[in-house]
């Protein structure tokens, strides 16, 4: 099946620094990718929809200036957590669907972010 690769799997950073997370569709093109965040024992919460070649669409309550999303190609979307704080520590997961197909969403492996 289709594969979505997310990198890094885990990262520890200092408060105030920025962290970039990459999401790649390895064997299909995805005009749209989705970013989720999950706190321990909580549900997956949709943060934003990443659109290739245009601005991302953010869910209510998600700060677009803090969570920068870039979808520069049909196979790569990046999420940058800027000026990270300990409360940003969470599990971040991306997903993508093949363009034009009514198919399942494939998920990346997730990134465990810890801000110290």
Partner 1 sequence: GQNIDQPTEMTATEGAIVQINCTYQTSGFNGLFWYQQHAGEAPTFLSYNVLDGLEEKGRFSSFLSRSKGYSYLLLKELQMKDSASYLCAPKGSGNTPLVFGKGTRLSVIA
Given the rule CB under 8 A, which residues bind partner 1?
1, 6, 31-32, 34, 41-44, 46, 49, 91, 93, 95, 97, 102, 104-110, 112
The backbone torsions φ and ψ at residue 55, rounded to the nearest 5 degrees and listed phi first, read -75, 150
CB of 45 to partner 1, least distance (A): 8
Cβ proximity to partner 1: between 38 and 70 the closer is 38
Given a contact cutoff of 8 angstroms between Cβ atoms, the answer to whether 95 and 33 are in contact is yes
- DSSP-derived secondary structure letter, 88: G
Kindly tell me which of 42 and 83 has the beta carbon lying closer to partner 1: 42
Residue 32 or 78: the one with the smaller Cβ distance to partner 1 is 32
Q: Which of 94, 92, 90 is nearest to 115 (CA)?
A: 90
């Amino acid at each position: 099946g289709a594969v979505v690769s997310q990198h890094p799997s885990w990262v520890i950073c200092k408060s105030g620094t920025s962290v970039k997370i990459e999401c790649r569709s390895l064997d299909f093109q995805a005009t749209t990718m989705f970013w989720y965040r999950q706190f321990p024992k909580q549900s997956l919460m949709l943060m934003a929809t990443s659109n290739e070649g245009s601005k991302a669409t953010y869910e209510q309550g998600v700060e677009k200036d803090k969570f920068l999303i870039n979808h520069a190609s049909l196979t790569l979307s990046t999420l940058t957590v800027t000026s990270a704080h300990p409360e940003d520590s969470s599990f971040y997961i991306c997903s993508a669907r093949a363009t034009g197909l009514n198919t399942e969403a494939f998920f990346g492996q997730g990134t465990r972010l810890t801000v110290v």
